[in-house]
Amino acid sequence: MLVNKYQQRVYWIIRRMLLNHEDTNDVMQETFIKIWQNIANFRQQSGLYAWIYRIAINEVYTFFRKKKRLRNLPTTELKEEMLQSLQCDPWFDGNQAQLKLQEAILALPKKQQMVFNMRYFEEIPYAEMSKILDTSKGSLKASYHWAVKKIEENLKDN
């Protein structure tokens, strides 16, 4: 039931961070395995979706760490590889403008990427983001503001 209800939302949480369909499917599978293994530990202090979202983000970070370590790549090369992978991905149906936006998002620090994706693409309210990320609303608003500014600058320069 959890997979049926949350599969699409979890897919897009992960996809916006990884950009690649195949990697997204792998991380999504790991996410649902973690959810299944830990559902008994869910404390209902935050909503179920917030808990699932947090697990998905943690799995994305685990994926990045493993990939960096296995391939021994600096972060900049990893980001370039992700963009190239996106361009070759048959599941990516975006145009040049969407590709530029993804490039600008990738240039952000991880926290700003996450906050931008949550707010811009998923329209998650700051109160809910605060629960998911265990961060104050003010900090999230500032992160989003700076993310938007950096993306605007990046798009103007390129």
Q: What contacts 24+ positions apart, CB below 8 Å, involve 11-14?
A: 12/121, 12/122, 13/53, 13/56, 13/57, 13/60, 13/117, 13/122, 14/56, 14/59, 14/60
Q: What is the pLDDT of residue 17?
A: 86
Q: What Cα–Cα distance (Å) separates residue 97 from each residue in 81, 94, 123, 147?
A: 19, 8, 21, 18
User: Model's pTM, two decimal places?
Assistant: 0.76
pLDDT band at 102 (very low <50, low <70, confident <90, very high): confident
pLDDT digits (tens, 9 = 90+) for 120-155: 988 999 998 998 888 999 999 999 999 999 999 989
CA distance 59 to 47: 19
Q: Catalogue all structural domains in the chain, each as residue range(s) with its CATH number.
A: 1-93 (1.10.1740.10), 99-158 (1.10.10.10)
Instruction: Report phi then psi at 88, rounded to 5.
Output: -90, -10
Q: What is the pLDDT of residue 143?
A: 96
